[in-house]
Amino acid sequence: MVYYAQPPRNFHAKPRSKLKRYVFETSRLLFREFTMADARLLWELDGDPAVMRHISKGRPTSLESICGEILPRWLRYYQLYQGLGYWAMHQRERGEFMGWIHLKPYLNRVDTLELGYRLHRRFWGSGYATEATRAWVDRAFERPETQCVVGTTLIANFASRRVLQRAGLSKESNFLYETSLLPGWSEEERRAVRYTLDRPRYERRLARALELRLASEMAAQAGR
């Protein structure tokens, strides 16, 4: 069954038209903190059954839940952890809201961070998720205390698995999401996979990339 949400009749809040504060940027993306004024943006994102397929079997998140539970919980991250939490993602060129990405303590461990994201369907297949996750992996390891980045997703969610792999994470293990997280889902449907990237492997990857870049520059100079 597909569910379609409707906003309350007295709901008139509009998202901000300008990006007043952003955390950092990549070549095509801007990231900023959320505010309570972003409730409708999240409601519209979670209203797409395709976006919510691997999260709630297509059922949307209610606006009441976003305003009363989700956004207040997300905003607390900014107070508890510097540089961690949930971040709104926008197109750098047009400023359009695309979705969100999170980097937060994994199982309450500040040395292990969990990476996750959600994008509007119209932005799928253009490399935005890969660009965003790679950037946030780099930011994760800029924190001296970070020793590992973790990403989890359903085994059946092949698109998200590819994104985690492209961000540099490797498969570590299979597990089951708890029934409290996915109520009403069968054990087969709750089968999931955990991907990780630890600091030593990340630093080896950086060193290799630097070697390749230097070799390329030397080859270019030699050919002049």
- Which CATH number covers residue 91? 3.40.630.30
CA torsion sign for 51, 57, 60, 62 is negative
Report the SS3 class of residue 27.
coil
pLDDT digits (tens, 9 = 90+) for 143-152: 999 999 999 9
Mean pLDDT over 175-197 rounds to 96
- Residue reference for tokens 């009363």: 68
How does DSSP assign 112-179, residue by residue?
A: EEEEEEEE-GGGTTSSHHHHHHHHHHHHHHHSTT--EEEEEEETT-HHHHHHHHHTT-EEEEEEE--T
pLDDT digits (tens, 9 = 90+) for 108-122: 899 999 999 999 999
How does residue 5 score in pLDDT terms, banded at 50, 70 and 90?
Answer: very low
Considering the domain boundaries, does residue 59 fall inside one? Answer: yes
Domain count, the chain: 1
Tell me the residue range of the domain where 33 lies.
24-222
The pLDDT value given to residue 2: 28
Considering the domain boundaries, does residue 124 fall inside one? Answer: yes
